[in-house]
Amino acid sequence: MTTRIIGTGCYAPEHIVTNEDLTQFLDTSDEWIRERTGIHRRHIDTGEGTTAMAVKAAQRAIENANISPQSIDLIIVATSTADEIFPNTAAMVQKSIGNNHCTCYDLNAACSGFIYGLNTAHAFIKSGIVETALIVGSETMSKTVNWEDRSTCILFGDGAGAAVVTKDETGIESIVMGSDGSNGEIISCDGRIMENRWGKRPVKNSHMIMDGQEVFKFAVRKVPEAIKELLEQANIDADQIDHYLLHQANERILSSVAKRLHVSMERFPVNLSEYGNTSAASIPILLDEMNRKNILRRGEKMVLAGFGAGLTWGATLLTW
Ligand code: COA
C-alpha cells in the first residue's frame, strides 16, 4: 500500500510584475534577468495573503480529486510566509474548505516545503494513521525580499499549489529528504523582532539575504545526488523517468541538473518564465498545470525534487 496523488490545484495572484516593470526602480534589465534566470514575469500579491491563496489552491485540488472535504484526515501547509503566528495556516484552510476534525499543521522547509509535506503525508498514510491528506504550498515571497536588492528580488513571486493524496496500490515508490543547518546562512530571513521589555537583540531588518552563487552551487550538487539516491532506492534508471518536476528557482539550475543526470532537458518542464521562484508553491503549481493540460498519463514515472533554505532538500519518486 502506498500514497497516490488524486487531485491538484493552484492559484496565483492576478497582479503581474514584468522584468520591464522592475527596471522602473532597479538597476537591471529584462535581458539580464531572462538570460541569468529564465524569468520573464511574476505574480505578486496585492493584499490577499498566504492563507487566501492556499484556500483557493486547496479548493481546486479537492474539486479535481472529486472528494468530500470531510474525508480529509490531515492538512499540511508548507510555507515560510504565513500571514499569522497562530492559528496555523492549515487550520484556517481547514475552516474554509469545510472540515472540522482533521489534523492541521504548517511546515517550514522553505523551497523544499512541498516535498517535505508530501513525504510526511506519505509516512502517515503508509503507517496506516491516515487515509487521505491535503498538502498545500503557499507563499507570499514578495514580503520577504528587499525590493531594492536586485540580486534577490528579481527571482521571486507569489502563489499557491496543492495536492490531495490517498491510500492506493500505486503511487509513491521512494522518498529522500535531508538538511544541512551548518550552511544555513547562505539564504536566510530574520523572523519577528523580540518585543518584550527584557529583549537584548538589536533591531535588524527582516528581509531575505542570499549568497546567490553559493545557493546555486549547493543546488546543482545536492539535487542530482538526492535524485540518484531516490532512483537507487527504487532500482530505476534516470532515463526511465518520464518527467522531472524540480523546484523552479533558476532555469540554469534545471539544465545543470539535467546534464548531471544525463537526461534530456525535454523531461524537465519549466514554468519559471511566468511565476519566478514561488518557493514551496513552485512544484505543486507546475504539477497542476501539467495535470490540467493532460500531459500526465497514468503509469508514467515522475520525480519531484526541491531544495532551499535550511539548507534543505527532498525528492519523491512516484507512478502517476
Ligand atoms: N540585474 C543586473 N545585474 C545584476 C543583477 C540584476 N538583477 N543582479 C546581480 N547583478 C550583477 C552583479 O552585481 C554582478 O556585477 P559585477 O560583475 O559588476 O559585480 C554581476 O551581475 C554578476 O553577478 P553574479 O552574482 O555573479 O550573477 P550570477 O550569474 O551568479 O546570477 C543569481 C545571480 C542570483 C541569478 C544566481 O546566482 C542564482 O540564481 N543563484 C541561485 C539563487 C536561488 O535560486 N535562490 C533560491 C533557492 S531556493
pLDDT of 24-59, one tens digit each? 999 999 999 999 999 999 999 999 999 999 999 999
Per-residue pLDDT reduced to its tens digit, 104-139: 999 999 999 999 999 999 999 999 999 999 999 999
Annotated active-site residue 243? The verdict is no
Is 250 close to ligand 1, i.e. is its CB under 6 Å away? Answer: yes
What is the C-alpha to C-alpha distance for residues 68 and 248, in angstroms, rounded to an integer? 31
* The amino acid at 138: S
How confident is residue 191, by pLDDT bands cut at 50, 70 and 90? confident
User: Which is nearest to 113 in space by CA: 312, 320, 288, 316?
Assistant: 312
Annotated active-site residue 207? The verdict is no
Is 227 close to ligand 1, i.e. is its CB under 6 Å away? Answer: no
pLDDT at 206: 80
Is 213 close to ligand 1, i.e. is its CB under 6 Å away? Answer: yes
Q: What is the pTM of this model?
A: 0.97
Catalytic residue among 189, 247, 250, 291: 247
Per-residue pLDDT reduced to its tens digit, 240-250: 999 999 999 99
DSSP 109-125: -GGGHHHHHHHHHHHHH
DSSP-derived letter for residue 238 is G
How confident is residue 205, by pLDDT bands cut at 50, 70 and 90? low
How confident is residue 196, by pLDDT bands cut at 50, 70 and 90? confident
Is 281 close to ligand 1, i.e. is its CB under 6 Å away? Answer: no
